[in-house]
Amino acid sequence: MAELWAQLRKFAKNQRVRIVLWAALTGVIVGVTTVSSPLEDVLSNLRWSLHEEKASGHLVIVEQDSQTLDALGTVDVNRSNDADVLASLFDAGASRVFFARAFVTTNDQAGDEKFIRELKSHPGRVYLGAKPGESAPNYTARIPPKRYYQYARVVSLLAHSNAFNLSVTLPLASDSPLGKIPSISAEIAGKDGPLDQFYTPDYSIGVKTFRTVSYIDVLRGKFDPAAVKGATVMIAPTALSYNNIHSVPGQGLAAAEVYFHAIGAETLAHGIPLQLGWLPPIVVVLIVIGTGLGRGRALDVYRFTGLVLVFVAVPFLLDMVRVSVEIIPSLVVALVAVIRMRNLDRVEVAGETNAGSGLPSVQALRNSEVLSPKILVALKIRNYGAIIGSFAEHVETELASEIVRRVRISDEPVTVYHEGGMFIWLSNIRSTFDLCENLEGLHRIVQNGIQVGGLDIDLSFNCGIDSEFDRPMASRIASAMQAAEEAVRNDELVYQHDSRRQEAQWEISLLTSLDRAIDNGEVWVAYQPKLDLKTNRICGAEALVRWTHPERGPISPEKFIRIAEEFHRIERITRFVINDAVRTAVELQRMGHNLTISVNISAQLLRNPGLPGMIADILAEHGLPPDRLILEITETDRLDRSSRTYQMLQRLVRSGLRLSIDDFGTGNATIDYLRYLPASEVKIDKSFVSSMEANKEDLLLVQSIIDMAHSLDRTVVAEGVETAKALEMLRGLRCDVIQGYFLSRPVPFRELVEQIAQPKVLKIG
């Protein structure tokens, strides 16, 4: 017994358990006090608005509408009118007739007598409404006169409006001077219930789906008897002058009171709605919270979000079977729990500090449940234990501080976590290649020694990195630390963990063989000619790099150019292409063909200050005027005139080179390019050109680009021309130059010369 009591005391002292208990108490208070009722009504109305059900058709509503009052020239109908309508309805075969309005004494004795005679003629088939009074919430004090109800039955018309009139509930029965009487909806549906039981009608039943007949049409016999034959009829005032129009929950419209009772009757016809209240959802939330206590997380953000989604979907499904629950108290429990648990988590993480170094412990990072898109680095100091054991206690803090300071020199700001001889951080450097270069620099700095407490300490470290961003943090930490140990064993500075190592190694080997491929002729330049639509002659060509691997065959330019850019090798490829393009232009000029040659320039190179000099050297070596070389720019990082990119483009133009805006209409290539960039040419992206024949919107876009470019005195080139129809359409749009497979695919230099020399082969004009 003592042991059990000790366990209970230990359990009660657990902070997370106390949080759960306070959250549960808060939810119970919210449920008991009904403060959440307005919000529950809002959610119910929203759910009802998402689906609509039709009325069964067993009810017919005879409306005392504005048409009726206008026709009778009065402000209300009289008992004589009611008697005639009753007679007309029963003659047509109506089953029962309910008057959904209160009856008061009138001075029309003849009308009274006529109405009473009609009641006597149909005993037990006419029901008269009783209205509530001022004394009690479920008491109908205003009942019909005895001379009426002795020949008819009395039903309650009581309805209860919730706070802010967001919803209306109905009783199954009401108290009255005659004792307990059923509500009109319960009587129609044939249901019985206690005085204190209210229910919420299913407001997904559309008001507009009920069958209706105008009172005046029934009075004059101008209605289809088949409409009421065998049906239950409700007679009620619906004209605006009766002032009994109310907003129907979930339907976004207003209707007379009779429709609330009619919806209630349709609801009860399927059974009395089951109201589970707020307690069962709270129990469900507490169960979910309890399943997480053993793992130290009573309710994390993800499970809280899942609960919210469940409590949105489940009530919607329950509404369809006339079962209702109150979910706000349970959501309050979940919200209180998640907020306080997250605060506790932050406190615990803040407390997860390495006692020796004062840095956050690796455990603090392990506890992180968020996937990170950053490369994880684990730096292992080989002689860490020997260093710590050889100096005073304070040396570990100073040593850790010096290591963090050096890490942050080129990777600022990062949080460095510490565990034993391992320092771990999520790097802000996105490129693996750049990160490896950074770690090499860090290694050179550390090799010079670190001074701690006036003494020089020699350090030696190895690193492991993990870049699989879709894995949990704890798993990534283990991989990075394992990679660091592997680096120690293999005497490598950096070792990368990669489950897709085979493909990664091939890409790295691809990169290392790129220089050799350029030298031995595997990499070559193809040329795609461009046609001047005014002269109908080839006016230039675009130089496109190609790589034919001896084992893998043709390698996609997108693939090896991406790798070259990632590992900063794009300059070598660009130099090779420009050199071949300039040599080709000079050779064509020698043959008598004064053509321009276009070369694509990577956005990465536009930030290289040596680019203008490199191009100038190649032009000077071959003797080509700079205006014969066009540099195609796909995108730039900024458009304002203060950027380094813009200044670089200005330098290139001032040197006599021409610029072309490639892929215009996609990405960043917009009107701002035409306004700011000193380009003389605009190339319309092939995606618009290839689809303009079938897509009017793309055709209009192409036309607008051409007109806009011409207004700014730019030459327009259309890429991706693959049919004669497209060529003729572009000619009609006054496009200057076209390029595409209809003219020619990219071809070697010899075939380009043949196409220029034999224009008939192109089959144009």
- Tens of pLDDT along 497-528? 765 554 555 566 666 677 788 888 889 999 99
Q: If 0-12 CB within 10 Å is exposed, 13-18 middle and 19+ buried, where does residue 576 land?
A: middle
- Which of 499, 534, 553 lies at the terminal end of a domain, its last residue? 499
Supply the pLDDT for residue 301. 59
pLDDT band at 286 (very low <50, low <70, confident <90, very high): confident
**505 lies in a domain?**
no
Q: Are residues 19 and 112 in the same domain?
A: no
Q: Which domain holds residue 383?
A: 362-499
CA dihedral 492→496→497→501, nearest 10 degrees, is: -100
Q: Tally helices (H) and strands (E) across the chain.
A: 29, 31
pLDDT digits (tens, 9 = 90+) for 94-118: 999 999 998 866 668 888 999 999 9
**583 lies in a domain?**
yes
User: b/e string for 267-299 if b means 16 or more Cβ within 10 A?
Assistant: bbbeebbeeeebbebbebbbebbeebbeeebbb
**69 touches 241 (CB < 8 A):** yes
Angstrom distance (rounded) from CA 376 to CA 432? 10
Supply the pLDDT for residue 322. 85
Q: Which residue has the higher pLDDT, 424 or 293?
A: 424
Q: Are residues 196 and 327 in the same domain?
A: no
**553 lies in a domain?**
yes
Residue 56's alpha-carbon distances to 59, 227, 262, 338, in angstroms, are: 7, 13, 11, 45
Coil vs helix vs strand at 385? helix
DSSP 144: P
Supply the pLDDT for residue 590. 93
**354 lies in a domain?**
no
Token representation of residue 332: 């309050």
Which CATH number goes with the domain that contains 389? 3.30.70.270
Q: Are residues 282 and 258 in the same domain?
A: no
Q: Is the pLDDT of residue 6 over 70?
A: no
- Which of 217, 242, 274 lies at the terminal end of a domain, its last residue? 274
Coil vs helix vs strand at 544? strand
Q: Where are the beta strands (DSSP E) in 387-536?
A: 417-419, 422-426, 450-452, 455-457, 461-466, 494-497, 523-532
- Which of 303, 319, 349 lies at the terminal end of a domain, its last residue? 349
**717 touches 659 (CB < 8 A):** no
pLDDT digits (tens, 9 = 90+) for 339-379: 887 777 666 655 577 777 778 888 888 877 678 889 999 99
pLDDT digits (tens, 9 = 90+) for 622-665: 999 999 999 998 754 444 555 778 888 889 999 999 999 888 87
Q: Are residues 219 and 298 in the same domain?
A: no
**363 touches 421 (CB < 8 A):** no
Supply the pLDDT for residue 315. 85
**60 touches 196 (CB < 8 A):** no
Average pLDDT over residues 741-760: 84
Q: Are residues 396 and 338 in the same domain?
A: no
- Across the chain, mean pLDDT equals 85
Cite the DSSP H helix spans in 269-391.
Answer: 279-293, 301-320, 328-351, 362-366, 384-390
Q: Are residues 590 and 694 in the same domain?
A: yes
Q: Is the pLDDT of residue 30 over 50?
A: yes
Structurally, how many domains does the chain consist of?
Answer: 4
Q: Are residues 201 and 224 in the same domain?
A: yes
**322 lies in a domain?**
yes
Coil vs helix vs strand at 740? coil
Angstrom distance (rounded) from CA 761 to CA 752? 12
Q: If 0-12 CB within 10 Å is exposed, 13-18 middle and 19+ buried, where does residue 623 land?
A: exposed
pLDDT band at 37 (very low <50, low <70, confident <90, very high): confident
Average pLDDT over residues 407-432: 86
pLDDT band at 4 (very low <50, low <70, confident <90, very high): very low
**464 lies in a domain?**
yes
Q: Are residues 338 and 380 in the same domain?
A: no
**763 lies in a domain?**
no
pTM above 0.85, yes or no: no
Residues 6+ apart with CB under 8 A from 94: 60, 228, 229, 230, 231, 232, 233
**231 touches 92 (CB < 8 A):** no
CB atoms within 10 A of CB 568: 14
Tokens 């004792």 belong to 179
**717 lies in a domain?**
yes
Coil vs helix vs strand at 634? coil
Q: Are residues 126 and 258 in the same domain?
A: yes
Q: Are residues 71 and 132 in the same domain?
A: yes
> Could you tell me how many residues make up the chain?
765
> Of 521, 661, 664, 535, whose CA–CA distance to 595 is shortest?
535
Residues 6+ apart with CB under 8 A from 653: 659, 678
Angstrom distance (rounded) from CA 660 to CA 716? 9
> Of 416, 414, 429, 438, whose CA–CA distance to 373 is shortest?
429
Q: Are residues 750 and 722 in the same domain?
A: yes
Which CATH number goes with the domain that contains 598? 3.20.20.450
Of the listed ranges 42-51, 394-403, 718-727, the least confidently predicted one is: 394-403
The torsion angles phi and psi of 271, rounded to 5 degrees, stand at: 120, 155
pLDDT digits (tens, 9 = 90+) for 241-257: 999 999 999 998 999 99
Q: Are residues 439 and 478 in the same domain?
A: yes
> Of 177, 133, 122, 138, whose CA–CA distance to 154 is shortest?
177
Supply the pLDDT for residue 60. 97
Residues 6+ apart with CB under 8 A from 174: 130, 132, 138, 139, 140, 156, 158, 180, 181, 183, 195
Supply the pLDDT for residue 105. 63
Residue 618's alpha-carbon distances to 89, 255, 528, 583, in angstroms, are: 103, 84, 22, 9
pLDDT digits (tens, 9 = 90+) for 153-200: 999 999 998 888 889 999 999 999 999 999 999 999 999 989 889 999
Supply the pLDDT for residue 667. 59
**Over pLDDT 90: what percentage of the chain?**
41
Q: Is the pLDDT of residue 387 over 80?
A: no
